[in-house]
Amino acid sequence: MKGNVTNFETGRARSNNKRRTNFALLACIVAICLSATIVMGSQGAEYDAADTYAVTSNPGTGVNVEYGSEAMEGVNYVFAVSPLAGYAGSINVSITIGGTIYMNVVKNGNSYTIPAADVTGAIVIATSNLVETSYPVTFDKGAGSTITGNAIARANEDYEFNILLEYGYSTTVVLTVTIGGSLYPNSSLIKNSNDFTIPGADITGAVLVKTGDLKDLSVQVNFDSDEGITINGATRVAFEENYTYSVNSGLDGKVEVTVKKGDTVLEKFIDNGATYSIAWSKVEGSESITISAKLAKDGGGGGSNLMLYIIIVIVIIVAVLALIWFFFLRGGKKAIKFKMPNLPKAKKKP
* 245 and 205 in a common domain: no
What is the pLDDT, as a whole number, of residue 273?
Answer: 86
Query: Is 184 within a domain?
Result: yes
Say which residue, 72 or 323, is predicted with more confidence: 72
What is the pLDDT, as a whole number, of residue 184?
Answer: 97
Q: Give the SS3 label for residue 161.
A: strand
Query: Is 348 within a domain?
Result: no
Of 64-78, 111-125, 190-204, 336-350, where does mean pLDDT reach its minimum? 336-350
What is the pLDDT, as a whole number, of residue 311?
Answer: 85
pLDDT at 345 over 50: yes
What is the pLDDT, as a whole number, of residue 230?
Answer: 93
Query: Is 9 within a domain?
Result: no
Say which residue, 334 or 270, is predicted with more confidence: 270
Query: Is 122 within a domain?
Result: yes
Tally of CB atoms within 10 A around 125: 22
The DSSP 8-state label assigned to residue 68 in this structure reads -
Question: What's the angle, vertex CA 55, arms to CA 52 and CA 59, rounded to 5?
Answer: 170
Q: Which residues of 181-213 are buried (b: 16+ CB within 10 A; e: fewer)?
A: eeebeeeeeeeeeeebebebebbbbebbbebee
Tell me what percent of the residues of the chain surpass a pLDDT of 90.
64
Query: Is 336 within a domain?
Result: no
pTM: predicted TM-score of the whole model, two decimal places: 0.59
The Cα–Cα gap between 68 and 60 comes to 18
**The residue type at 327:** F
Spell out the residues 6+ positions from residue 69 whose beta carbon is closer than 8 angstroms to its own. 54, 55, 56
Per-chain mean pLDDT for the chain = 83
Query: What range does the domain containing 190 cover?
Result: 134-211
Continuous segment of H or E residues that includes residue 317: helix 302-324
pLDDT at 260 over 90: yes
Query: Is 280 within a domain?
Result: yes
